[in-house]
Structure formats: structure tokens, C-alpha cells
Amino acid sequence: MSRWGDGWRDYKPPVARMPTPPASKYHSKKTLATDGTSCDSKKEAARFNSLLLLQQAGHITGLVAHPRYELRVNGQIVGTYTADATYTETASGRVVVEDTKSPASRTEAYQLRKRLFEALMAPLTITEV
């Protein structure tokens, strides 16, 4: 046998590697809330866990994760808005649409979508946490 081994018998093909997913735009990490709800960030999961506790205590009712709203103008859908949570405050009966935002994620596109949502869905407003 030569110093190069046994020729083709020593050949090992390169190991195929799965590509790593790209990092998220704001470096958030998908996280599960205590009830198994998938959240886009640790901050959102922590807030949703707080809302779950408030619901168990009876302070809020009808908690829904990631409700989707169609934004319609003149009968045409011009976009959608997906909030992080919506619920009803027990004491006042007010419906709250909530979005967990970091300062970096308050983009111009988000602000436009928020203004459009509030104009079309009045009296609902988006509460940012």
C-alpha cells in the first residue's frame, strides 16, 4: 500500500450539512408560552404568560393569541394585521388589542399598519407593551 492509502477505497464523501436558518431581523428567539402557544420572542412569551395569569385570576376574559384582522378599504382587502393578543378587561368590558414591541421593531411599515388598523377598526386601538 502506498502513502496515499488504498485509492478509491479510502475516499469518504463530504458530510452533507443542513443549512442553519438565518438569524431573525431583530435577533428574537421563538419561544413557547406555558400553555404551548408559540411566540415570536422571549418578551412576547413572558407577556403572554402574564396575560394567562390575569385570565386565571379573573381580571381578563377571552384571551386569544395572534388574532388576525383583515384591513378592508371600499370592500377590498388591502392588508392584514396580526396582533400578539386580544382580550376583554373584566372590570370595564373594554376589548384590548395588544402588541409586544421593542423600540427597534416600531418600523415605518408597522406604524402605517397600526394607523390603518385603528382608522378601520375604531373604537379598537393597539396597545403596545
What is the 3-state secondary structure of 85-125?
A: EEEEECCCCCEEEEECCCHHHCCHHHHHHHHHHHHHCCCCC
Decide if 87 contacts 64 (C-beta within 8 A): yes
Rg (CA), the chain: 24
Can you give the pTM of this predicted structure? 0.78
Residues 6+ apart with CB under 8 A from 39: 30, 31, 32, 33, 45, 48, 65, 84
Per-residue pLDDT of the chain (129 residues; tens, 9 = 90+): 555 556 667 777 788 888 887 878 888 899 999 999 999 999 999 999 999 999 999 999 999 999 999 999 999 999 999 999 999 999 999 999 999 998 888 899 999 999 999 999 999 999 999
